[in-house]
């Protein structure tokens, strides 16, 4: 019988998660029944949203998350041994997927050929984060050529894709990231105006580099960063509220009181449109985004990076690293 390693919540994290908030146990996975498969993780994703899931979880819960995995046992003719899938069984080395579980296309999909691109990309640029950039930027910001776009967490999985899509659309991109190496990386993607928000004052940068205002703001960070950007928005600016990673370790739960004043005056007088989203809003158009990004990669218009941690034992450490800016591009763990 297959033995699975499983990362569970030991203590619901308070503030920045610690490795001791997690525990790894071993579990026996019973053999497949009709219609079932057993999968073995190949690549596991760590994502900022997991912080929210942990906050809403309880001790003993398996940490939620996606992985690229290989079918190693099958009693389902549609999914034979050797098939690669993207699934959401959580931080587990081996998992049983029932016939029912395989029906939900957002919990389980067979991995299509990625045209020579490493399978881990299905967790990043050719997966949920890539589509977050594609739909979250194009649909909510409606960018026009020549407009000025601000992107933060710009060296990360979503941000680096947004910067490049904005460039493809002919926009002028002002990007922010958290280290000199990250600034160099974003510049290497062809983005001209890139700043380190830890050493450059965001408001001063925008006064200088965006004297006519910011037309589109793709926000991954929230908090103080966003407070600094708001006064620089142009009339009829569009703000895509993708994430607020600077706040994830502060809020006790969803629905808690907002931490700062709501800038009503700016929003009203400049007639700004601000919209949050969850990328699964575009579920019915999922492959449109993936196929377009794949095409842009082929044409050399989009580049991407991955920060790879080796070993399942490094799941908590790699996850925590997201909040310390340790990743460049998509953070993944190789099983």
Ligand X SMILES: NC(=O)C1=CN([C@@H]2O[C@H](COP(=O)(O)OP(=O)(O)OC[C@H]3O[C@@H](n4cnc5c(N)ncnc54)[C@H](OP(=O)(O)O)[C@@H]3O)[C@@H](O)[C@H]2O)C=CC1
Ligand Y SMILES: CCCCCC(=O)/C=C/[C@@H]1[C@@H](C/C=C\CCCC(=O)O)[C@@H](O)C[C@H]1O
Contact footprint for ligand X (CB under 6 A)? 47-49, 129, 132, 153, 155-159, 177-179, 182, 220-221, 242-246, 277-279, 322-323, 325, 327
Asked if 329 is part of the footprint of ligand Y (rule: CB under 6 A), the reply reads no
Q: How many residues does the chain have?
A: 335
Asked if 156 is part of the footprint of ligand Y (rule: CB under 6 A), the reply reads no
Other beta carbons within 10 angstroms of residue 232's beta carbon come to: 23
4/189 with CB nearer ligand X: 189
Least distance from ligand Y to the Cβ atom of residue 45, Å = 10
User: Contacts with ligand Y in 270-289 (CB under 6 A)?
Assistant: 278-280
In the structure encoding, which two tokens stand for residue 18, read together? 């610690």
How crowded is the C-beta side of 148, counted as CA atoms within 13 Å? 19
Distance of CA 149 to the CA centre of its chain: 19
153/210 with CB nearer ligand Y: 153
Strand 22-29 and strand 273-276: pairing? unpaired
Whether 15 contacts 24, CB under 8 Å = no
Binding pattern to ligand Y, positions 231-250, x when CB under 6 A?
Answer: ------------x-------
Closest-CA residue to 156 (of 140, 178, 180): 178
- By three-state DSSP, how is residue 155 classified? coil
Secondary structure of 138-151 in HEC code, one letter for each residue: HHHHCCCCCCEEEE
Asked if 49 is part of the footprint of ligand Y (rule: CB under 6 A), the reply reads yes
16/278 with CB nearer ligand Y: 278
Choose among ligand X, ligand Y, none what residue 232 binds, the Cβ cut-off being 5 to 8 Å by kind.
none
Choose among ligand Y, ligand X, none what residue 177 binds, the Cβ cut-off being 5 to 8 Å by kind.
ligand X
User: Contacts with ligand Y in 250-269 (CB under 6 A)?
Assistant: 254
Choose among ligand Y, ligand X, none what residue 327 binds, the Cβ cut-off being 5 to 8 Å by kind.
ligand X
Asked if 89 is part of the footprint of ligand Y (rule: CB under 6 A), the reply reads no
Least distance from ligand Y to the Cβ atom of residue 21, Å = 18
Residues 6+ apart with CB under 8 A from 242: 132, 136, 158, 218, 219, 220, 276, 277
Asked if 53 is part of the footprint of ligand Y (rule: CB under 6 A), the reply reads yes
32: left (phi over 0), alpha (psi -120 to 50) or beta: beta
Contacts to ligand Y by CB under 6 A: 48-49, 52-53, 128, 243, 254, 278-280
């Amino acid at each position: 019988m297959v033995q699975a390693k499983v990362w569970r919540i030991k203590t619901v994290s308070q503030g920045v998660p610690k490795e001791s908030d997690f525990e790894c146990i071993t579990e026996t996975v019973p053999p497949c029944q009709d219609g079932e498969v057993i999968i073995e993780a190949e690549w596991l994703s760590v994502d900022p949203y997991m912080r929210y899931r942990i906050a809403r979880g309880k001790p003993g819960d398996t940490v939620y998350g996606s992985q690229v995995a290989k079918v190693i046992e099958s009693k389902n003719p549609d999914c034979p041994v050797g098939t690669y899938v993207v699934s959401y069984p959580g931080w587990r080395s081996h998992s049983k997927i029932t016939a029912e579980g395989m029906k939900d296309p957002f919990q389980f999909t067979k991995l299509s050929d990625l045209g020579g691109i490493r399978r881990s990309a299905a967790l990043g640029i050719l997966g949920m984060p890539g589509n977050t950039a594609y739909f979250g930027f194009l649909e909510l910001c409606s960018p026009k050529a020549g407009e000025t776009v601000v992107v933060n967490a710009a060296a990360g999985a979503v941000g680096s894709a947004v910067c490049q899509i904005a460039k493809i659309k002919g926009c002028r991109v002002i990007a922010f990231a958290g280290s000199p190496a990250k600034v160099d990386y974003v510049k290497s993607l062809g983005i001209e105006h890139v700043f380190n928000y830890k050493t450059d004052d965001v408001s001063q940068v925008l006064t200088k580099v965006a004297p006519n205002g910011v037309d589109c703001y793709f926000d991954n960070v929230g908090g103080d960063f966003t407070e600094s950007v708001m006064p620089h928005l142009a009339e009829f600016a569009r703000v895509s509220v993708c994430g607020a990673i600077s706040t994830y370790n502060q809020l006790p739960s969803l629905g808690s009181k907002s931490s700062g004043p709501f800038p009503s005056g700016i929003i009203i007088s400049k007639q700004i449109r601000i919209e949050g989203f969850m990328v699964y809003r575009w579920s019915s158009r999922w492959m449109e985004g993936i196929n377009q990004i794949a095409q842009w990669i082929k044409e050399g218009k989009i580049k991407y990076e991955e920060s790879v941690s080796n070993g399942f034992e490094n799941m908590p450490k790699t996850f925590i690293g997201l909040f310390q800016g340790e990743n460049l591009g998509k953070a993944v763990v190789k099983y």
